[in-house]
Amino acid sequence: MATVDTNGLLAGKVAVVTGASRGIGEAIAIRYAMEGAKVVVSARTVDEGDHPLPGSINGVVQRIKDAGGEATAVRADLAVGEDRENLIKAAEEAYGPVDILVNNAAITFFIPITEFPERRFKLMQEVQVYGPLHLSQLVLPSMSERKTGWIVNISSHAALHPKPDAGGRGGTVYGMCKAALERFTTGLASEVYDDNIAVNVISPGLVATPGVVHHKLINESNQDRVTPVEHMSEACLRLSYSPAAEVSGRITYADEMIAEFNLVPADLLA
């Protein structure tokens, strides 16, 4: 049975996880809490029913607290700069300086380029590219001063270059955003390496999150490749405690992390 270890691998650490009301973000927040982290769970969906898809930040926080962990919910629309600033301010007021930042939030529209509206393009860029950059700017001064910190950016296989005959499904802008996020990650990792701040980007593979199901991204041709969300949360945990000298600047994947470090994905809190 899954439990919270207050003396675990992340004991005393403060973690901010965006897009954590459901899916991968929810799993990461819970896994961090299980290892003793104080987790700030952030998304736009505060309570169940606020969004058509199931899940909410208050629900995730309650699961953590019921198991003896420590967490707080902070609503933030990452398309809004003020919300990003308020998120980090609220985290610091609740628990102190941020040790771990997970940039997981995303907003995605699958539309062919010939029809892609400018406003939706700019929204995706704001949430998935500038948002992680801005949040990193907000936490880095403290991390640099303390010579410690971890930033984990969540990407996708969509960042890989498709072949011309791959048969696009309107995911070009999504892949474009994730490719930019990966280049941001490696560049930032090199900038803050001397301050012992690890910056990595990881893709989950195909996970049956509510969003993936909603966009009908799982079908007969790929359903045998669906992996449990616990693989992603375990891999992200591994990226959140190693020194930068050991693990930083990686563009990696959950299955690669599981194999390289012989990880055994833990069950998550019920």
CB contact at 8 A, 124 and 107: yes
Question: Which of 106, 126, 120 lies closest to 21 in space, CA to CA?
Answer: 106
Exposed/middle/buried for residue 269 (C-beta within 10 Å: 0-12, 13-18, 19+) = buried
Instruction: Name the active-site residue from 174, 193, 241, 253.
Output: 174
**Can 174 be counted among the known catalytic residues?**
yes
Q: What does the alpha-carbon distance between residue 57 and residue 50 come to, in Å, rounded to a whole number? A: 11
> What's 126's DSSP letter?
I
Buried b (16+ CB within 10 A) or exposed e, 135-146: bbebbbebbbee
Alpha helices in the chain (DSSP H): 23-34, 57-66, 81-95, 118-125, 131-146, 172-192, 210-214, 229-238, 254-260
Query: 239 Cβ partners below 8 Å, 6+ apart?
Result: 150, 152, 198, 200, 202, 247, 250, 252, 257
Identify the three-state secondary structure at position 201: strand
Angle at which helix 131-146 crosses helix 172-192, to 10 degrees, equals 20
Active site residues: 174
